[in-house]
Amino acid sequence: MSICTTCPYCGVGCGIKTDGVQLQGDKQHPANAGRLCVKGSSVLETLGDQDRLLQPEVNGQVVPWDYALDEVADRFRRIVDEHGPDAVAFYVSGQLLTEDYYVANKLMKGFIGSANIDTNSRLCMSSAVVAHKRAFGEDVVPGCYEDLELADLVILTGSNTAWAHPIVYQRIAAAKQARPDMKVVVIDPRRTATCDLADLHLAIRPGQDVPLFNGLLTWLDDHGALDQDYIDAHTDGFDATLNTARQQGNDWDALAEQMGVSKVDLTTFYHWFAACERTVTVFSQGVNQARNGSDQGNAIINAHLATGRVGKPGASPFSITGQPNAMGGREVGGLANQLAVHLDIDNPEHHAAVADFWQTESLAKENGLTAVDLFNAVESGQVKAVWIMATNPVDSLPEADRVRHALMACDTVVVSDCVASGDTLACADIRLPALGWGEKSGMVTNSERCVSRQRPFVKAPGNAKGDWWIVTEVARRMGYASAFPYQHEHEIFAEYSALTALAGRFGRRLDMTAAADLSADQYEQWQPQQWPLQGDPRCFGDGCFATPNGRGRFVACENPRVRQIGDAFPIILNSGRIRDQWHTMTRTGRAGRLFAHLSEPFAALHPKDIERYRLKEGGFVRLASKVGDALVRVTSDAGQRPGTAFMPMHWTDQFSRRARVDALVPARLDPHSGQPAFKHTPVNVSDWQPRWHGWLFTVAPPPAVEYWARVPVDAFLQTGQVQRYRLAGDADLTEQQLHDWMPEAAQWLALNDPATGHFRRAALDSEGRLLAWLAIGEELPLCDVEWLANCFADEADTQHLALLAGQPVDAGPDLGPVICSCFQVRQKTIEATVEEGADSVEAIGKCCQAGTNCGSCIPELRGLLETCSV
Amino acid sequence: MKRLVVIGNGMAACRLLEELTRLAPDLYQITVVGEEPFAGYNRVMLSPLLGGGTDEQTITTYPHQWYRDRDIRLITGSPVVEIHRHRRQVITAAGHVLGYDRLLLATGAAPRQLPVDGVALQGVMSFRDLHDVRTLLSLPAARVVVVGGGFLGLEAADALVKQGHDVTLVHSRGHLLNQQLDKAAGHRLQQDLEARGLKFAMQARTQSIEDNGHGGVAAVHLGDGHRLPADYVVQAVGIVPRTELAAQAGLTVNQGIRVDDTLQTFDPAIYAIGECVEHRQRTFGLVAPLYEQASVCASHLAELGHRRYLYADTATRLKISGIDLVSFGDFSDDGDTLQLELPGSYRRLQIRDNRIVGMVLYGDVGDSAFFENLWRNQTDISAVRATLLLGEAFCNLPGDGGDQQREVAA
């Protein structure tokens, strides 16, 4: 029995149809119309009870739910009573469903009375939220995916769409194939996979988006390409904004030089922008994750407002979001500086209306702490209890090591998660087992405001519960039972939809009121729908905005201060996604297949920098910033700008020894959004040459060596899942260490070459099944890691020599039975010598040695002589 | 026709006859005088015969018909007692007087006797020829002590275990086959044989053999005072070249009958091959160099002589109770030692200057020829060193290094 649900990964929000065994893209879903990327297609492989958090735990002890919920409620109650509501905080996630988000926000802001609830969306989208609110008066993405297909010019800036939003990329690619005249411009300091589609790649220097789009505004003005009527009729602030933009002048040679691109490319882009009425500018983390991320967003929107291209078919700025329900979180008020349903905390009318709706007198009156400040407050002891849901701040926040220390020192850390081990879970006093994808039920909103269901199709493992249920139970235990009467998630969704009536009352476009009276059955039957649930699927196309006067606002964007690159940290480190992994790999890291593309953490550098800093391609590099360091492999990438490096954001201490990129990133924030500047970390790089390299396959945790990187293998032993570790170290190894890294075993295969430090070990059980495999050498020992993984999975009896080799032996042609056992000469070989003219036992011996030692095979040789010469 | 007399009918002699009759079928009228009353048999196969793995007919590689087919006169059971070099005649125990133009000595070797009291008792035996095997096969189930942990002793002991005897092997050194194996392989062999019921007294010197009062064996006394009760003793403590006839005839004899590179003795009409000879201060016990001597000598006897016999170090190949062993060269601890240990199999290579100088293979010997060629050709193995021990199949791997590239390619 197939169900329709939504992919758990990026903000494209693709529909999936699955029965738990087969999985395919949902052809009816408007986001993907049946397409799926590799992550989405492999999501079934990430399910299963392995490494799942199955029972609540308090201080490391498994406890019943009642006990754990009482404990959470008591601790939060006590701290709120003693230190006030701002001494507690929630840190939630774009992985939560709308219902989960809604009750968490309602509990914190509405009843505990603090706005200390922030979300990991702060890290990816909050600058876009600010840009939207400043320009449109409301955090609304005006366009929809169809605009990408209708556009004549698609600009992708700060977005490796091909890897981070593959289905959006595929839609653009298909449209371009159908209409080759359609142009694609990619703006990115890196030449990424997305550039394959580009007619023009503007590899600007990092942090140059504002000068680029200010330059565009000036160019449009110089060339009479502005939509002055639209500007006059529908916007405010244009003159000031243009004046600010013009401060950098209109010397296009100088600007191109500053950007680090050619003037031809720069003006080609401006010319295309001017010429294409139907232009969509897609922007994402590369724009948002900067110290001036909000301004970068507004600089883009300014260009669209100046040409009247907002919310029209094929013409709009288009922020695409990173997470499956970042948009839903923004809608219900998951950010510390939002109230709920796109209303503002510091607006007394909004405040009164929401307080009335929720029937509360404790509604928070001031904005709460945003993510980075929130954990600073944990560090300082101002926040004494924090509840983290479905996210991993020890890996994903800047200055990540500091975050870890802060959590370790915090009075009460509650973590709700679906996995049993993680860098944040390791800091938790109370662990609550949450439902994962495929088990939980609720709504998500994607980047084009399309609200879809996530539906369960597998049974909850152990005692795991939905996040909304956990929060509701804690709320009741804190004394707010009447405000949290929910028995089913659909009641929450209906309440939220009803609440959006307030959004409409205050001129917001967010409108879900049509779902306010949704029955449980209608909720079950819900089909993907864009909001506003009625009317035009685009917003602001009529030139009417959600600002008090209904006019769109230009925002004057100053060029960023030019920061000198110091000798101490001469490389600018950028971070981002890779194609086949998701966030901190708690899900994708369970599928060995998704490591086939990139299996180890790495830093990509331009070949010139590899040479300049005496690194070795494929070798190791130590990166150090002012706040932290990392040790990863070196990848040479001519698509990197010289002077820059790229590291994937995914690797955690669960998957490598020291590869958390955010441990390097200083907590520098956009002043308006509080979003950290992940894309611009000054670092230095140095070569690390290990004395030995190795592979280890085992179910055990990694050994304590200088470098390791883990890949799960699709094979399970009684003791757990087999893991493949790539190892390297610079301390001498002893045979005892090698022994300690391996499990108890009935049988051993061993190869020792102590003079060169080359050792191999295979541990087998009494029936010959492989339990663990190790190879150490001065160079990385050669082996076929995929074949070895199969050796763990298959019960087939593998030849011992091949096992130690770590490669299958090509058996070659069948040469028949061994005739001469002294020299291991086989029948076919002997027959061949006879056919070539050997006419006696001696002649056979001369040709192939057979029979020249013990002679016991001579009768058989004679026999072969007779039969062959017949 | 010229006359050729061959004294001895062992493996070297038979191999020579085979070669000679092929090279020059009509050159000689050949007479072979064998001490043993049998046609030509494969001495290497005596252990399987004793162990019940084969029969006499199978191991008789040169039956009487074979001699008849080549007009070779075979005299058995009547050993030569004298050589008259001046008259160019040999005389047998039965009084045959055989004139020769060329004489070949292939008198072989005799088992070495223990230099201890009691060695002459009834029940103290050797394991050398078909007669010995017949004797050993006729014994009732008994306690047998085999002295000597070389391959002959091991083969005898193992075969006797298979025959149902209670067998203890006494060896004077710390590990078995100390000439052919390193310690690790020797210990493995001991364990494997123990698992089949053979008992061992290692680092044990045989002090004396105790009389049971009836001229038979009661026990073996060891140097450390231990007494091993026994009904029979089998000596396997090496061989001594049989040189009495040659010495008596005035040929130069040292440890063996001295021959030059054409296998000729002091007397140009007389050649010698096999275990009885000494060539360049070396005597022989394994079959491979004997065959080479037979081949060279045959070419000279056939008057096609231009070849010279030069000793080539060859691998020692043994099979003990189904366990294959191959070794060659130097496996002292000088240089780099590469070891491979698997259940039931062991490999060791000794490497100096990136060249194989020694090898021990135990169990799986499938790659012995591969290693032997590398050794013989002094091939530089540095390029394949990492997988060398795994054998030929893993030393020509395609896509070397490709894996590392694939790992981080972005």
Same domain, B365 and B227: no
Residues A261-297 have pLDDT tens digits of 999 999 999 999 999 999 999 999 999 999 999 999 9
Residues B320-343 have pLDDT tens digits of 777 889 999 887 778 899 999 999
Residues A471-495 have pLDDT tens digits of 999 999 999 999 999 999 999 999 9
Total residue count of chain A as it appears in this document? 870
Same domain, B81 and B146: no
Size of interface A-B (CB pairs under 8 A): 134
Chain B residue with CA closest to A859: the answer is B61
* Min Cα–Cα distance to chain B from A472, Å: 45
- Single-letter amino acid code for the residue at A534: Q
Full DSSP string of A178-247: H-TT-EEEEE-SS--GGGGG-SEEE-PPTT-HHHHHHHHHHHHHHTT-S-HHHHHHHEE-HHHHHHHHHT
Rounded to two decimals, the ipTM of the complex is: 0.78
Residue B117 lies in a domain: no
Residue B311 lies in a domain: no
- Give the residue among A388, A390, A433 at the shortest CA–CA distance from A414: A388
Residue B407 in contact with partner chain A when CB distance is under 8 A:
yes
Q: Which fold has domain A571-688?
A: Barwin-like endoglucanases (2.40.40)
Is residue A465 scored above 50 in pLDDT?
Answer: yes
Q: Indicate the residue of A750, A809, A856 with minimum beta-carbon distance to B341.
A: A750
Is residue A590 scored above 70 in pLDDT?
Answer: yes
Q: Cβ contacts (< 8 Å) between A782 and chain B: which residues?
A: 386-387, 397, 400-401, 403
Rg of the Cα trace of chain A? 31
Name, in order, each residue with C-beta under 8 angstroms of A390's C-beta and a sequence gap of 6 or more: A92, A93, A95, A96, A100, A416, A417, A418, A434, A467
CATH code for the part of the protein at A818-869: 1.10.10.1100
Q: Is B166 exposed, middle or buried (0-12, 13-18, 19+ CB in 10 A)?
A: middle
- Give the residue among A694, A721, A699 at the shortest CA–CA distance from A709: A694
- Looking at residue B246, which CATH number applies to its domain? 3.50.50.60
Binned at pLDDT 50, 70 and 90, residue A796 comes out as low
Residue B404 lies in a domain: no
The residue behind tokens 């396959």 is A697
Residues B66-79 have pLDDT tens digits of 999 999 999 998 89
Is residue B368 scored above 60 in pLDDT?
Answer: yes
What angle in degrees, to the nearest 10, is found between the helix axes of A238-246 and A293-306?
A: 110
Rg of the Cα trace of chain B? 24
Q: Cβ contacts (< 8 Å) between B401 and chain A: which residues?
A: 782
Binned at pLDDT 50, 70 and 90, residue B409 comes out as very low
Binned at pLDDT 50, 70 and 90, residue A812 comes out as low
| Cβ–Cβ under 8 Å, residues A269 and A198 | no
Distance CA(B261)–CA(B242), nearest Å, equals 20
Instruction: Identify the residue among A798, A853, A860 best suited for mutation to test binding to B, counting B beta carbons within 10 A and taking the highest.
Output: A853
Distance CA(A675)–CA(A688), nearest Å, equals 33
Q: What is the mean pLDDT of residues A28-44?
A: 93
* Min Cα–Cα distance to chain B from A768, Å: 10
* Min Cα–Cα distance to chain B from A9, Å: 21
Residues B4-61 have pLDDT tens digits of 999 999 999 999 999 999 999 999 999 999 999 999 999 988 988 998 888 999 999 9
Identify the helix (H) or strand (E) that includes residue B65: helix B64-69
CATH code for the part of the protein at A3-124+325-530: 3.40.50.740
Q: Indicate the residue of A637, A752, A855 with minimum beta-carbon distance to B44.
A: A855
Q: Cβ contacts (< 8 Å) between B291 and chain A: which residues?
A: 852
Distance CA(A726)–CA(A393), nearest Å, equals 26
pLDDT for the residue A794: 78
Q: Indicate the residue of B44, B345, B408 with minimum beta-carbon distance to A856.
A: B44
**What domain range includes position B344?**
322-394
Same domain, B290 and B230: no
pLDDT for the residue B334: 82
Let me know the angle formed at the C-alpha of A802 by A799 and A808, rounded to the nearest 5 degrees.
105
Is residue B399 scored above 50 in pLDDT?
Answer: no
Let me know the angle formed at the C-alpha of B190 by B189 and B193, rounded to the nearest 5 degrees.
85
Distance CA(A273)–CA(A270), nearest Å, equals 5
Residue A135, SS3 per DSSP: helix
| Cβ–Cβ under 8 Å, residues A733 and A757 | yes
Q: Which residues pair with B80 in a beta bridge?
A: B92
Same domain, B146 and B215: yes
Chain A residue with CA closest to B399: the answer is A782
Distance CA(B201)–CA(A497), nearest Å, equals 91
Chain B residue with CA closest to A845: the answer is B291
Residue B308 lies in a domain: no
Name, in order, each residue with C-beta under 8 angstroms of B2's C-beta and a sequence gap of 6 or more: B27, B28, B29, B101, B102
Task: Looking at mean pLDDT, say which of A591-600, A665-674, A820-829 comes out highest.
Answer: A665-674
Lateral strand order in the sheet of B232-235 = B124-126, B232-235, B143-147, B166-170, B199-201
Same domain, B51 and B140: no
Distance CA(A390)–CA(A603), nearest Å, equals 27
Binned at pLDDT 50, 70 and 90, residue B402 comes out as very low
Is residue A769 scored above 80 in pLDDT?
Answer: yes
Among B218, B235, B252, the domain-final residue is: B235
* Min Cα–Cα distance to chain B from A602, Å: 7
Q: Indicate the residue of A635, A842, A856 with minimum beta-carbon distance to B42.
A: A856
Q: What is the mean pLDDT of residues B288-301?
A: 94
Same domain, B194 and B244: no
Residue B257 lies in a domain: yes
Is residue B190 scored above 90 in pLDDT?
Answer: yes
Tell me whether residues B408 and A804 touch, CB distance under 8 A. Answer: no
Same domain, B231 and B132: yes
Phi, psi of B352 (to 5 degrees): -130, 135
Tell me whether residues A805 and B390 touch, CB distance under 8 A. Answer: yes
Tell me if the bond preceding A532 is cis, omega within 30° of 0: yes
Binned at pLDDT 50, 70 and 90, residue A829 comes out as confident
Same domain, B32 and B77: yes
Q: Total domain count for chain B?
A: 3
Structure tokens at B107: 């008198």
Phi, psi of A657 (to 5 degrees): -70, -45
Residues B206-219 have pLDDT tens digits of 999 999 999 999 99
Among B209, B235, B261, the domain-final residue is: B235
Distance CA(A108)–CA(A339), nearest Å, equals 11
Residue A108 DSSP class: I
Distances (CA, A) of A625 to A384, A571, A665, B226: 30, 10, 7, 75
pLDDT for the residue A870: 60
Residue B44 in contact with partner chain A when CB distance is under 8 A:
yes
Distance CA(A19)–CA(A568), nearest Å, equals 55
| Cβ–Cβ under 8 Å, residues A342 and A127 | no
Let me know the angle formed at the C-alpha of A17 by A12 and A20, rounded to the nearest 5 degrees.
120
Domain spans, chain A: 3-124+325-530, 126-319, 571-688, 692-805, 818-869
Is residue A782 scored above 90 in pLDDT?
Answer: no
| Structure-model confidence comparison of residues A799 and A357, the more confident one | A357
Residue B35 lies in a domain: yes
Chain B residue with CA closest to A711: the answer is B407
Q: Indicate the residue of B343, B389, B408 with minimum beta-carbon distance to A600.
A: B408
Residue B48 in contact with partner chain A when CB distance is under 8 A:
yes
Binned at pLDDT 50, 70 and 90, residue B406 comes out as very low
Instruction: Identify the residue among A854, A861, A865 best suited for mutation to test binding to B, counting B beta carbons within 10 A and taking the highest.
Output: A854
Same domain, B286 and B374: no
Residue B168, SS3 per DSSP: strand
Residues A636-670 have pLDDT tens digits of 999 999 999 999 999 999 999 999 999 999 999 99
Same domain, B103 and B136: no
Tell me whether residues A801 and B391 touch, CB distance under 8 A. Answer: yes
Question: Can you identify the CATH homologous superfamily of domain A126-319?
Answer: Dimethylsulfoxide Reductase, domain 2 (3.40.228.10)
Chain B residue with CA closest to A193: the answer is B410
Same domain, B95 and B183: no
Residue B384 lies in a domain: yes
A399: number of CA atoms within 13 Å, CB side?
18
Residue B401 lies in a domain: no
Name, in order, each residue with C-beta under 8 angstroms of B60's C-beta and a sequence gap of 6 or more: B38, B39, B40, B41, B42
Same domain, B54 and B134: no
pLDDT for the residue B79: 93
pLDDT for the residue A596: 81
User: How, if at all, do strands B232-235 and B124-126 pair?
Assistant: parallel
| Cβ–Cβ under 8 Å, residues A159 and A286 | yes
Residues B252-293 have pLDDT tens digits of 999 999 999 999 999 999 999 999 999 999 999 888 899 999
Distance CA(A590)–CA(A702), nearest Å, equals 16
Binned at pLDDT 50, 70 and 90, residue B405 comes out as very low
Tell me whether residues A751 and B324 touch, CB distance under 8 A. Answer: no
Is residue A230 scored above 90 in pLDDT?
Answer: yes
